Amino acid sequence: MLKVEHIGIAVKNLAASNDLFAKLFGQPAYKQESVESEGVSTSFFSIGQTKIELLEAMHADSPIAKFIEKRGEGIHHIAYEVADIEAEMSRLKGEGFILLNEVPKKGADNKLVCFLHPKTTNGVLVELCQEIRA
């Protein structure tokens, strides 16, 4: 793994949280994007070498809605950048980690992503992400 690419934070109200985090960081989000397949609206803030991703549920069936229902707002996942997502997925599978998707899927911010089940990672939802190369 190359670095912590971003930290995902589940929020109830993206517009309100965009204002809050813009004040916290002293700069606005550089992008907003919805990922229909995941049922989430996201925004991204750039902080030095890493990013903060805010996630709001688009509907009640969204994994983010379920997360907030169970655990409240807060840190939802940590995303690690990898050079070759398929190689890393098969390596981690071999190490006994449970992958939540068997093939990489298209995530926000021009990334291929794969999530690891938190029960195999000490309760932390882990995202692997790889930049989609043109």
If one asks whether residue 40 binds Zn ion (CB under 5 A), the answer comes out as no
**Which positions from 85 to 124 touch Zn ion by CB under 5 A, shown as an x/- string?**
----------------------------------------
Tokens of 100: 């939540």
Where does this chain touch Zn ion (CB under 5 A) — which range of 17-25, 62-70, 72-80, 89-97?
Answer: 72-80
Q: Which member of 8, 39, 56, 116 binds Zn ion (CB under 5 A)?
A: 8
If the CB atoms of residues 49 and 94 are measured against Zn ion, the closer one turns out to be 49
Q: Is 79 in the site for Zn ion (CB under 5 A)?
A: yes
Other CB atoms closer than 10 Å to residue 134's CB: what's the count? 4
106 contact partners, CB below 8 Å, separation of at least 6: 35, 37, 112, 113, 132
> In the bound complex, what is the minimum distance in angstroms from residue 108's beta carbon to Zn ion?
7
84 sits in the region (left: phi over 0; alpha: psi -120 to 50; else beta) called beta
Shortest distance, position 8 Cβ to Zn ion, whole Å: 4
Token look-up 């009640």 returns: 60
| Cβ–Cβ under 8 Å, residues 5 and 83 | no
**Under rule CB under 5 A, which residues in 44-63 are in contact with Zn ion?**
53
CA distance 41 to 33: 6
Rounded least distance, CB 127 to Zn ion, Å: 5
Tell me which residues touch Zn ion (CB under 5 A).
Answer: 8, 53, 79, 127
